[in-house]
Each structure stands twice: as structure tokens, then as C-alpha cells.
Amino acid sequence: MEAYLDNAATTQTFPEVCDIVKRVMMTDFGNPSSKHTKGMEAENYINEAKENIAATLKCQPKEIVFTSGGTESNNMALIGTVMANKRAGKHIITTRIEHASIHEPLAFLEEMGYEVTYLKVDRLGHIDLEELKEAIRDDTVIVSIMFVNNEMGAVEDIKKISEIIKSKNKNTLFHVDAIQAYGKYKIVPKKMGIDLMSVSGHKIHGPKGSGFLYIKENTKIRPIIFGGGQQKGMRSGTENVPAIAGLGLAAKLIYGGHSEKTEKLYELKKMLIDGLYKIGDDNKCADGSCGVVINGIDGIDIKETAPHVISASFYGIKSEVLLHALAAKGVYVSSGSACSSNHPELSGTLKAIGVSDELLDSTIRFSFSVETTKEQVEYALEVLKKQLPILKRFIKQ
């Protein structure tokens, strides 16, 4: 048996999405800029995808710009807006637990003379709203804060954050990285005060290499890719019609029966957390405490966290060792290791929420999708129960 519990990294593409991608690639393969029938067919796929996505956000189709994914959307939101609003100032606000696709563009902008304020977070991954309020200045161009943290599932109060931003400086733009939130939460940008929002297709059972940036009408933003003027000049380059068609369908499918899907995810989350604590009690530390720590849930209801992400630290066992031991048994998870050279942003997240030094390289991320089953969670717990005592031989001295 296999248990794929790494859905925050990527999801398996819906079969219906695979079908439409293949159809567009093999049959309706025209260039949407062409004026003949094949081109118009391709353009129709793009328009339908925009309408599907706009329906999930209760926004206008023209407010959707297709990209290659979350990284490009984040780069466009940050670089495009500051370049279009140079007269507004050179100050940006974000948090210490953002994804690298936020931190790296901001590092680039800092080299160009922009000043970036990085907000601290508490042990639950939440920003201090008073610190945010104090940080906003007359020259603050944009605030960028993720909706759901990709590593430990912290959920920010986006509507409240927007209210604070706009009350302090009505001209400051608010960008939300919703890559882990879209499909899990019902998001209405206008009601929540969001000016720009990034989404990635492969997190919602759509194709890799697909995504979009929601841009509220009349928001000042410049393109960062130039060329043929596609998408009204906002994102040049021949549109990836197969991926766009697949993304539009995935968006429609993921929001079908949304409440029931979310409830199922929370049931799986509780089941895994309860099982992890039981295993931790069976593998206690030397001082008698539980051998497993669940990060970011102390003292709160799990429904105050994202439904699909769990960050767990295992005393005495390096995450890389545990990850490979689980993979050998068909259980697939992600390492939350602070020492991972491929994912340096994880170190910032774990440190920011106060994970102790001894657990920084002993953390695993489990993540679900709508296709995850109870049987898979049970199997993962069964494997963990058997493997942890064996892996104790790798305990750090």
C-alpha cells in the first residue's frame, strides 16, 4: 500500500483535467492569437477558464492573469506593483515566514534600494496586528502576507489585516499569497480587501506550470514579461492553453461540494494528530514527555489552522532519516528540516515560530488532499509506529 501525504508540495492531477489537457494538446491545439477557427477554439478555452476561476472568487474574468504558477505570480505582484508605483514610496512589508518566491524577489528589490520590514510571528505563526499597524507608513507601497503558511498550516486573518492596512494608508496595496489557501477556503477578494492574489494550479489537482494572479480592477501594476502583448500586455508569450484549460477545470472541480471536502480534511487531520500523539506517548523522551510535538496548534482548535497541513517534530530522529524510512514503506511526506539546502526558507519558518534547536532538523510535514483516505492515514500511522523505535538508534548525541 502507498500513502501519499505530500499534497502541499503537489497534488495528483484530476482525471478530468488530464482529459482536457490532452484534448487541447492533441485536437484543439490552435494558437489563441490566430484568427482562424483553431485559434478561436483555443481562445474559448482561455475565456472559459477565466470564467470558471472568476466564479470561485466572485470577481470579474478580466481580473485574472494566467501565469506559469505561484512563483511567477508572486514575482509579478511584488515587482510589477512597486515598479508601477514608484512615486508612492520605497517601503514594503512582509513576514518572516513567507515562501522563497516572496523573500527572493524582495531581496532583489532591497538591492534596488527598497526597504523591507519583516514582521515577526508568534508560536502559532500569526503576525502581531499592532506591529503591522505600527509598521505601515506613508511610503509603504505594498504589504505581502500569505493566507496559509505552506509548512505548518498557520492561517492569517486576511480581512482584518486588510482593514488595518487600508485604515492606516488607503493607497497601500495588499498582496496575498493564497497558494496553499485557494481550494481550501472560500475566498472573495473584494470582501476581504485583497488587491492582488497568487494561486498555483498543481496545488489543486491542476497541471504543473499553471497558475494565475488576481489583480483587482484599476490596480496599478506593470508587466515583468514583455513581448507579443498577450493577456492585454500583462503577460506576454503564447498562452499555455492546455495548462490554462486544465487549471480552469480544476478550479471548478475543487470548489464543488467544498464544505464536505473541507470537513473531510479536518477529520483526517484530527485522526493523524491523535495517532501521532499516541505514538509519541509510546516513544517518550528521557524526561517522560511525549516524543512527538505538533507545531502551531497549542491551545487552539485545529479548525483555526489549515485543514490539510500538519507539522510534526520527532525527538531524537533526524527528519531526513525518517523521511527515507517512510518512503521505503510507501509513505510520502516532506522534510521540515532547517538544514535542507534545497529549502532554506523552512529554517526561517521553524525558527520564527520558536521550534527548539534540537527539533529544527527533526520535523516532518504531512499534507492531505481531497483524494486522501482514512486507510492511507491509518497505514502511515502503522508504519510510523513500527519505524520510530528502530530509528531511535540514530538519536543525536
* Contact (CB, 8 A) for 206 and 13: yes
**At 192, which helix (H) or strand (E)?**
helix 189-192
Alpha carbon distance 335, 337 (integer Å): 5
Of 18, 59, 285, 339, which one is the catalytic site residue? 339
Burial class (CB in 10 A: 0-12, 13-18, 19+), 111: exposed
The closest of 36, 66, 37, 319 to 200, measured between CA atoms, is 66
Q: How many CB atoms lie within 10 A of CB 92?
A: 26
Known catalytic residue at 339: yes
Cell of 261: 471536502
Cell match 510589477: residue?
A: 80
How far does CA 91 lie from the centroid of its chain? 24
CA distance between the termini of the chain: 34
Cell of 155: 492561517
Cell match 497549542: residue?
A: 298
Cell match 508568534: residue?
A: 122
Q: How many CB atoms lie within 10 A of CB 354?
A: 11
How far does CA 259 lie from the centroid of its chain? 20
3-state secondary structure labels for all residues of 98-141: CCHHHHHHHHHHHHCCCEEEEECECCCCCECHHHHHHHCCCCEE
Query: What three-state secondary structure class fits 207?
Result: coil
The closest of 124, 148, 123, 120 to 132, measured between CA atoms, is 120
Query: What three-state secondary structure class fits 292?
Result: strand
Cell of 390: 528502530
Active-site residue set: 339
